[in-house]
């Protein structure tokens, strides 16, 4: 039987109704007279801490916390002083624009100016939390359980407060295939915060949580180690709509099955749209090119390897483009786009492209271009 994750909810109206049913609820209100005694005990066993942003705390300038976000700093400080390993901290709020004036860690230094939903990976590092969840959102319970289970699984995989490369590989549930060694190299290139074996220095106070933060904030949201549908289609040279046809293909083709095996089904996969192991897609793309050389064209190779419903891109001159919030908008012709370099963008991820039409309208977006490209808009 799968162990139920333990979730600590700190809320003025802490209630099991605010949590998924398939979890063990730990409830605490800030006005509890025994708050200071209960909190350390609960933190020892919790797999996730949910902090309500709008806590009924004094709002005057003082040395005490005034809301959920400020309570994070107090928890971090206390953990450092006591050498306590905190579980993931997640802000759980009913106000989607609670942080509209906050500066995200990725992109130009301008306020978020809207809802944090869909922007969690950009905003969470600025608030020093692992994630944010909107109360009442359609997928709120699913996301809570996904993060809690991801940390519970991480604790089991690590067996202690340190994570080795081998433990990380098993934790990510990487398939054992012909491209596994390549994937391991990709994982190392993605610079995970491994803590075992210890090479010296003082052990930090965050335990295994940095691995989960790395996964949530740098790996799943940005195409690099894992690819989005747009990048997977681009790498394979097929139309974006054909990915679904490929997954539905029951022809039994060895190549089709290899592509299917590249889907990421590891921890916290539910927090994002579908992701693919880049090593698996690259390997499938290489095999497709080999078949293409034999068949004479990509179209003929796809007919041979699939059930015939997969369509090739009309050209290899496509790139994946994003909007002003860095959300992928599909594929566009290379001649219609320019590569941008957003501040804070993970160095291990693919740098994005943006349509020239959009760049022409947005001077702030132009600041993310190379100087030579910026000159074309003067």
Number of C-alpha atoms within 13 angstroms, CB side, residue 257? 7
Closest CA to 225 of 260, 193, 190: 190
Encoding tokens for residue 297? 């064209």
pLDDT of residue 58: 67
Does the pLDDT at position 6 exceed 80? yes
Q: 125-142: string of b/e by CB count within 10 Å (b at 16+)? A: bbbebbbbbbeeeeebbe
Neighbours of 214 (CB within 10 A): 18
Determine the pLDDT at residue 67. Answer: 84
Rg (CA), the chain: 23
Q: What is the dihedral of CA 238, 239, 243, 246, to 10 degrees?
A: -60
* DSSP bridge partners of 9: 27, 50
Secondary structure string (H, E, C) spanning 96-124: CCCCCCCCCCCCCCCCCCCCCCCCHHHHH
Average of per-residue pLDDT across 110-126: 96
- Distance, in Å, from the CA atom of 323 to the CA atom of 100, rounded to the nearest integer, reads 18
pTM for this prediction: 0.93
Distance CA 184, CA 280 (A): 11
138 has pLDDT over 60: yes
Q: Looking at per-residue confidence, does 251 or 147 come out higher?
A: 147
* Residue 76 pLDDT grade (very low, low, confident, very high; cuts 50, 70, 90): very high
Confidence at 62, pLDDT banded by 50, 70, 90: low
Distance, CA of 13 to CA of 2 (rounded, Å): 29
Residue 215 has pLDDT above 90, yes or no: yes
Tokens of 319: 């790139």
From 77-91, 191-205, 220-234, the region with the lowest mean pLDDT: 191-205
What pLDDT score does 200 carry?
Answer: 47
Q: Examine the pLDDT at 60 and tell me if it is beyond 70.
A: no
Write down the pLDDT at residue 252.
86
Average pLDDT on 368-373 reads 93
What pLDDT is recorded for position 159?
Answer: 86
Q: Centre a 10 Å sphere on the Cβ of residue 349 and count the other Cβ atoms it contains.
A: 16
d(CA 352, CA 368): 10
Over residues 177-186, the pLDDT tens digits come to 999 999 999 9
Mean pLDDT of the chain: 92
Give domain 6-153's CATH superfamily: Response regulator (3.40.50.2300)
Domains of the chain by residue range: 6-153, 159-219, 315-378
Q: Which of 103, 48, 10 is nearest to 268 (CA)?
A: 48
Position 190 confidence tier, pLDDT thresholds 50, 70, 90:
very high
Q: How far apart are CA 8 and CA 25, in angstroms?
A: 6
Would you say 291 and 255 are in contact if contact means Cβ atoms under 8 Å apart? yes
Q: At 223, phi and psi to the nearest 5? A: -70, 120
CA atoms lying within 13 Å on the CB side of residue 266: 23
What is the model's pLDDT at position 302? 92
Q: What confidence score (pLDDT) does residue 16 get? A: 95
The arithmetic mean of pLDDT across residues 158-164, rounded, is 88
User: Considering the chain, what percentage of its residues have pLDDT values greater than 90?
Assistant: 81
- pLDDT the model gives residue 307: 83
Instruction: State the pLDDT confidence band at 309, using cuts at 50, 70 and 90.
Output: confident
């Amino acid at each position: 039987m799968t162990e139920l994750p333990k979730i600590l909810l700190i809320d003025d109206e802490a209630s099991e109704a605010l949590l998924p049913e398939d979890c063990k609820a730990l409830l605490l209100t800030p006005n509890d007279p025994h708050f200071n005694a209960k909190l350390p005990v609960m933190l020892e066993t919790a797999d996730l801490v949910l902090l309500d942003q709008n806590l009924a705390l004094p709002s005057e300038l003082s040395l005490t916390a005034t809301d959920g976000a400020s309570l994070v700093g107090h928890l971090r400080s206390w953990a450092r002083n006591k050498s306590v390993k905190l579980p993931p901290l997640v802000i759980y709020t009913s106000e989607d624009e609670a942080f509209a004036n906050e500066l995200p860690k990725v992109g130009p230094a301008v306020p978020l100016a809207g809802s944090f939903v869909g922007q969690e990976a950009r905003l969470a590092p600025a608030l020093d939390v692992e994630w944010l969840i909107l109360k009442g959102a359609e997928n709120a319970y699913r996301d809570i359980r996904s993060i809690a289970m991801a940390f519970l699984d991480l604790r089991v995989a690590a067996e202690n407060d340190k994570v080795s490369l081998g433990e990380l590989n098993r934790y990510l549930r990487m398939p054992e295939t012909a491209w596994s060694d390549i994937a391991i190299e990709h994982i190392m290139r993605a610079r995970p915060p491994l803590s075992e074996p210890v090479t010296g220095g003082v052990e930090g106070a965050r335990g295994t949580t940095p691995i989960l933060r790395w996964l949530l904030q740098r790996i799943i949201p940005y195409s690099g180690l894992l690819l989005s549908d747009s990048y997977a289609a681009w790498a394979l040279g097929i139309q974006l709509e054909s990915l679904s046809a490929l997954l539905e293909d029951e022809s039994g083709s060895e190549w089709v099955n290899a592509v299917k095996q590249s889907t990421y089904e590891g921890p916290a996969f539910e927090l994002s749209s579908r992701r693919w192991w880049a090593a698996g897609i690259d390997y499938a793309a290489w095999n497709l090119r080999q078949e293409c050389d034999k068949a004479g064209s990509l179209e003929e190779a796809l007919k041979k390897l699939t059930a015939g419903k997969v369509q090739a891109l009309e050209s290899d001159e496509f790139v994946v483009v994003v909007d002003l919030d860095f959300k992928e908008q599909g594929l566009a012709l290379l001649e219609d786009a320019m590569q941008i370099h957003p501040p804070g963008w993970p160095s291990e991820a693919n740098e994005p492209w943006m349509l020239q039409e959009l760049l022409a309208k947005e001077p702030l977006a132009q600041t993310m271009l190379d100087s030579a490209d910026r000159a074309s808009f003067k």
